[in-house]
Chain A
Amino acid sequence: MRDQLDLVPDAILVGRAADGDTAAFEALARRYGPHMRASARRLTGSYADADDAVQEALVQAWKQLDTLRDPAAVKGWLLRLTGSRSIDLLRRRRNHTSLAGGEDDAPPDTVSPGAGPETTAVAGAGIESLKAALATLPEEQRRCWILKEINGQSYEEIAQTLNISPASVRGRLARARTALVREMEDWR
């Protein structure tokens, strides 16, 4: 049933991929690719950058599969790699643009000036006001929030990704949520 790799549990695919089975690895990539891409897009702000980050994460995953202690935990691992590669990509680009004197890149879903409470109060208002509120957060807080809520990472894992202490993660996340709640209340 090789043609049914998409039905096979993660741990089996990880074992095969670690042995060199590229088809099994690609099945894993297809399984978690959309989640990885969604997370990377929210972190980097564009699908072009997201696809670069996902690709780098997958290359790293292939090389380091042997280091994965619990093969069944591959999903969280792939998302952590995706988070790290997305943050790296942002840092590289930031350095590059500041050297070149380029303009600041806008976070994703910055609301256009015309979009006010009236337009967001309709269907999907929760999502729309959250997107708008996220755009107002300081970058560091936004990253913490995305790594927690979209990637499902623990404080310790976020701390490693961002190279800060778990206590800082805890503080930033709490401040992010406080700001988001306030911001979303203002939209009502």
Chain B
Amino acid sequence: MSMPHDTFECGHTLEELSIYLDTGEFADPHHLESCPECRNGLDSLRRLSAAGNELFASDVAAAGSGTDEWMKDILANLALELRPGRTIPLRSDDPADTLSETEGAVLALVRSVADNLPGTVAGRVKLDGDVTLPGEPVTVRADLAVLFGQHLMDSAASLRQDLAEALARHTELTIAAIDITITDVIDAPREEQ
């Protein structure tokens, strides 16, 4: 429902210019360099875009911070379901007892070991292998972020050692290998960009 006055004397419209700004598509790009009306139109659209950015910034500022009460209320209401994962059997002295731990608990253990080292934090952790069968070889794969300035090889080596000890103490898994991938180097405090 384009109105007559939306069409410039050169025959082009603000709608075409708007699409041009988004996609770069325009039937006659050279025309835009010489047509004063189209140039005015593009200026108007750019001013609109600038006002949009201002509005966005002011809206986000008005929404408050992620540490405010409204966010605490939302988080309190979330009631996130647990992710137990697979069930890992444990030996028991009495055959009548069935003991097990969850895969989720083992992943949390791996994260906590990584997080406790200076300057490292765990990402995704995977247990490759059938953990539901006792004695099956299992490979632990962990993503790791390391704070800038930490020695990467040293961080990975001490993590591998700490993980081997912790897994031996708290699980009965047969660990075939521990693979650590440093996926990120953390260089500065982050804010939303």
Contact = CB atoms under 8 A, between A and B. Distances in A.
Contact of B66 (A29, A51, A75, A173): A29
Given A29-B74, A58-B78, A127-B51, 4 more contacts: A12-B183, A29-B66, A42-B59, A150-B55
Contacts of A140: none
A51 B19 CA distance: 33
B11 interface: no
Interface size class of B (residues with CB under 8 A): 35 or more
Interface stretch (A14-22, A95-103, A110-118): A14-22
Interface of A: 1-2, 4-9, 11-12, 15-16, 18-22, 25-26, 29-35, 37-39, 41-42, 47, 50-51, 54-55, 58-59, 62-63, 75, 124, 126-127, 129-131, 145, 149-150, 155, 170-171, 173-175, 177-178, 180-182, 184-185
A34 B64 contact: yes
A126 B51 contact: yes
A16 B74 contact: no
A34 B121 contact: no
B123 A16 contact: yes
Contact of B125 (A19, A31, A171): A19
B6 interface: yes
A25 B58 CA distance: 26
Interface in B33-84: 41, 44-45, 47-56, 58-60, 62-67, 70-71, 73-75, 77-78, 80-84
A131 B63 contact: no
A29 B18 contact: no
Interface in B74-128: 74-75, 77-78, 80-85, 104, 107-108, 111-112, 115-116, 118-125
A31 B67 CA distance: 9
B159 to A, nearest CB: 13
B1 interface: yes
Nearest to A34: B63
Contact of A31 (B80, B123, B192): B192
Given A12-B143, A37-B70, A126-B50, A2 B115 contact: yes
Given A1-B120, A33-B71, A150-B59, A173 B51 contact: no
Chain A facing B: main interface SS: helix
A126 B53 CA distance: 10
Contacts of B145: 8-9, 12
B15 interface: yes
Contact of B55 (A15, A130, A170): A130
B147 A1 contact: yes
A11 B189 CA distance: 15
